[in-house]
């Protein structure tokens, strides 16, 4: 089930808004397509990321995939647990497997993202 409160990139990242803070991860669909995640590379706290540009890499036993920021802003927290336990992304993509938190510089960028129903339609005709 796709969480209704989230917004989504077409590249399968999700964002959860809390005021001017955005928590970012990848969707359950994406983690199931990628499968056994063995490594996550994330930016340092204080790094600025830009809407729809690469901010990190996720690796499985079969391939590596770039991660794209759904919104712009400054990284204020990274999920340090993923450094030692990257499989949390597979086990809990919407909760414990989040990647980073960003202080958004332009919250209106959320308007350009897909809502849960639009994302469901997107994945029905897509492959990662």
pLDDT in tens, 33-65: 999 999 999 999 999 999 999 999 999 998 999
- Dump pLDDT digits (tens) for 6-38: 999 999 999 999 999 999 999 999 999 999 999
What are 20's two structure tokens?
């001017």
Domain ranges of the chain: 7-123
In DSSP terms, 66 is beta-bridged to 57
Task: Count CB atoms within 10 A of the CB of residue 36.
Answer: 12
The per-residue DSSP string of 57-95 comes to: EEEESS-EEEEE-SS-EEEEEE-THHHH-TTHHHH-TTT
* Residues ≥6 apart with Cβ < 8 Å to 9: 15, 52, 68, 70, 113, 114
Q: Does domain 7-123 have CATH number 3.40.190.10?
A: no
pTM of the model: 0.94
């Amino acid at each position: 089930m796709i969480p209704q409160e989230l917004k989504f990139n077409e590249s399968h990242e999700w964002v959860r808004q809390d005021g001017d803070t955005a928590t970012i991860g990848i969707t359950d669909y994406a983690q199931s397509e990628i499968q056994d995640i063995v490594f996550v590379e994330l930016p340092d706290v204080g790094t600025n990321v830009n809407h729809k540009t690469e901010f990190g890499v996720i690796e499985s036993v079969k391939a590596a995939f770039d991660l794209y920021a759904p919104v712009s802003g400054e990284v204020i927290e990274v999920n340090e647990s993923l450094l030692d336990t990257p499989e949390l992304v597979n086990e809990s993509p919407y909760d414990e497997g989040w990647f980073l938190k960003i202080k958004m510089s332009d919250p209106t960028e959320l308007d350009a993202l897909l809502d849960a129903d639009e994302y469901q339609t997107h994945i029905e005709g897509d492959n990662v």
